[in-house]
Amino acid sequence: MIDDEVKAVIMAIIIVGGALSISQMVLSERISEPFSALGLLGPNMKIGDYPKIVLVNQTVNLYLFIDNHEGRTIYYIIYVKLGDKLTEISENKSAEALILYTYEVILPHGMNTTIPVSLKFSNPMTNARLIFEMWIYDSETRAPRYHGRWNQLWLNITAPTTA
Amino acid sequence: MRVKFLKLSSISLITSSCIVSVLLFTILLLTPSVRCGAEDEQAIILLREVYSKLAEAEASGADISNASQLLNEALTLLKSMDVNPEDREMLLQEAIKIVNYVDSMIPTLIDEGQKNIFMRNVYMVLSVSSIVSSIVLAYLLTPRIFWSLWLKARRNWLVKVSGKSGRGSIDRRRG
């Protein structure tokens, strides 16, 4: 009663629809590209208005934005390091510089947080490079591991002038 | 000669006792701060240990969102000890209490996670089998349903055989 061609078309539509439904069900919970984000925000919690010149012992207020899309809960450790123009850093190698501050936060997948950061510098320095490195605590090795994400802020730290 | 020996020994005795007392005093002075530092370290180590257990629980299907939030709270308390040194002991105890509570939650979370995984697998198998059976049913029944509906829709129609003989040219509905 019905043509074979029409049958084949109906069958193809049903099979494709079924395959799409099954694949959506199976793959919906998988994270194809896991990533973490690290952002440095200015004193107004926005990208910009970063300080360029600060005084010794002056409090610099900034904010760190951390976003977790790794598909699992992550224990983040942010190291604030003080380097200079010779300090080497990349996605694979963390900076070999003095750690000034450490911030730690545990974030479930899909969550983000903004941490207030208050920094002070005890010595004057020209072209100081403030480096924010993202590390994660590796639950398998039971040790922190560099996660390849980093930010930097160039500063001139000057001594207060005496009258 | 004997007197001299006695004199020497008494001087050395006094000197050594002075050194010992100074050392003891120094140790007594330093002990609280060292102990505080060690306690902080211990708390962080404990917290990280519990986090590792939580991560394993999450990998086995447990929902650890609440537990990780509590652990983060404990971490915040530990980090705030430097800002509020006067409440140091209280913050430390509170953080350790939370960490221990989270640690005690983990077996329940793992059990719930395994149940959730089982139910999810059952749901998945049921969904896939229902999709497959609906495909088969659709293949088998669609033509029948289509043609039965087609016939129902046209059951009142009269059919005239049209041809060159001119015995009828169009179909028309009855009534």
Specify if B4 maps to a domain.
no
Q: Give pLDDT, residue A74.
A: 96
Q: Give pLDDT, residue A95.
A: 93
pTM tops 0.80: no
Range in A13-22, A129-138, B17-26 with the lowest mean pLDDT: B17-26
Q: Give pLDDT, residue B53.
A: 93
Residue A139 predicted with pLDDT over 70: yes
- Judge whether A44 and A147 are in contact, CB under 8 Å: no
Residue A55 predicted with pLDDT over 50: yes
Q: Give pLDDT, residue A163.
A: 56
Q: Give pLDDT, residue A134.
A: 97
Contact A2 B69 (CB under 8 A): no
Calculate the average pLDDT of chain A: 89
Q: What is the DSSP letter of B115?
A: H
CA distance A127 to A52: 10
Contact B69 A25 (CB under 8 A): no
Contact A2 B147 (CB under 8 A): yes
CA distance B127 to B146: 26
Average pLDDT, integer, range A139-149: 94
Using a CB-CB cut-off of 8 Å, the residues of chain A touching B65 are 73, 108
Q: Give pLDDT, residue B104.
A: 94
Specify if B74 maps to a domain.
yes
Q: Give pLDDT, residue B31.
A: 47
Q: How many structural domains is chain B composed of? A: 1
Domain interval for residue B47: 37-113
Residues 140 through 169 of chain B touching chain A, CB cutoff 8 Å: 142-143, 146-147
Specify if B52 maps to a domain.
yes
Residue A156 predicted with pLDDT over 80: yes
Note the ipTM here: 0.80
CA distance A158 to B56: 48
B165 vs A119, more confident: A119
Q: Give pLDDT, residue B132.
A: 85
Residues of chain B below pLDDT 70: 1-9, 11, 13, 18, 20, 22-37, 164-175
A145 in B contact zone (CB under 8 Å): no
Average pLDDT, integer, range A114-127: 92
Specify if B61 maps to a domain.
yes
Tokens of B97: 């209490």
Specify if B22 maps to a domain.
no
Specify if B129 maps to a domain.
no
